[in-house]
Chains A and B, each alone.
Chain A
Amino acid sequence: MRETADISRRSFFTRALAGVAGVVAILAGDRPATALGVPSGPPQGDDEPPEQVKRVLEARFGKRPIRKGHVQLDIPEEAPDGRVVPLFIETDLPMTPAEYVKGVHIVVDHNPDIYLAGFQLTPALGAASIDTRIKMRRTSYVRAIAETSRGELWYAASKVFVTLNGCG
């Protein structure tokens, strides 16, 4: 099991690491910076969901747009053992009785169950973050989707390279 990690400290480290990665990438010259010289975010592959994933998303969320942003998905890029892939999801969305994150959803494109888990939350939690361990069948995008009490949908996606099939 993971060491005790205070949430704010965890967030700090995650962001600090993301910052370092950004700087390294710029120094390495492997991706363009914006006109202002500010990195436009981590390099993104084409994370357009395949048809079967679109159907799963539509069955659950209808035709509402799922926009990128406000969700941070912390998951290894490489998972030698698909039986245990740690992931951490957090959002910077409000968590007040007036407006809150009512659900956090995990979707894995190439798993037997594409919709892997849903976490229904309430403002009593004070923040929206989930830390857990999932199984993966093979190399795939993992999507973390946050649904707000107003019905907005936000996501982050990350490709994970899997060696050992953890699903059967």
Chain B
Amino acid sequence: MSDAERRDVAGVGDAKILLPDAIKRGSLVHVRALISHPMDTGLFRTSAGEPIPAYFIKEVSVAYGDEQVARFEWTSGISRDPYVAFPIRATREAPLTITWKDNKGGVYTRTEQVRFG
């Protein structure tokens, strides 16, 4: 399988947000987010010698309810299939939405509900 084919089947943009099962009001929640993306630096070549153009997530935004609570600015120095984890104070039951944008115009969004249990 060529490098290009391998990237096609990888499902670029498949994303996941992982929240703990039981969230208590007011607690600090560990949010983990993963997305499938090649994060090509533009500095490598395929085995056939073709340059692989830069292709990476450059911006991530995190919204909790109506509030934007974080924004990440990335380069291709973040590893392939980017993983990021960060805390959030669970003050209310509301959707947590993460949006990833790449340098070729791709926009990928996932939402998970913060629910108290």
Contacts and interface: CB of A to CB of B under 8 A. Distances in A.
Interface of A: 1-2, 4-8, 83-85, 106, 108, 111-113, 115-122, 124-127, 129-135, 166-168
Given A122-B69, A131-B83, A135-B39, 6 more contacts: A4-B30, A120-B72, A120-B73, A124-B91, A125-B89, A131-B86
Given A129-B86, A168-B41, A168-B44, A118 B72 contact: yes
A40 to B, nearest CB: 30
B72 A135 contact: no
Nearest to B65: A124
Contacts, number: 113
23 contacts: A4-B20, A83-B80, A108-B77, A113-B77, A116-B74, A117-B74, A118-B73, A119-B71, A119-B72, A119-B73, A122-B68, A122-B69, A125-B89, A126-B89, A127-B87, A129-B87, A132-B84, A132-B85, A133-B79, A134-B77, A135-B76, A135-B78, A168-B44
A117 B41 contact: no
Secondary structure dominating the interface of A: mixed
Contacts of B86: 119, 121, 125, 129-131
A131 B84 CA distance: 6
A64 B77 CA distance: 26
Contacts of A5: 30
Given A117-B74, A131-B84, A126 B79 contact: no
A125 B87 contact: yes
A125 B82 CA distance: 20
B69 A124 contact: yes
Given A118-B72, A124-B88, A133-B83, A112 B78 contact: no
B70 interface: yes
Instruction: From B44, B72, B73, B87, name the one whose CB has the most chain A CB atoms within 10 angstroms.
Output: B87
B84 to A, nearest CB: 5
Nearest to B52: A168
Contacts of A135: 39, 41, 76-79
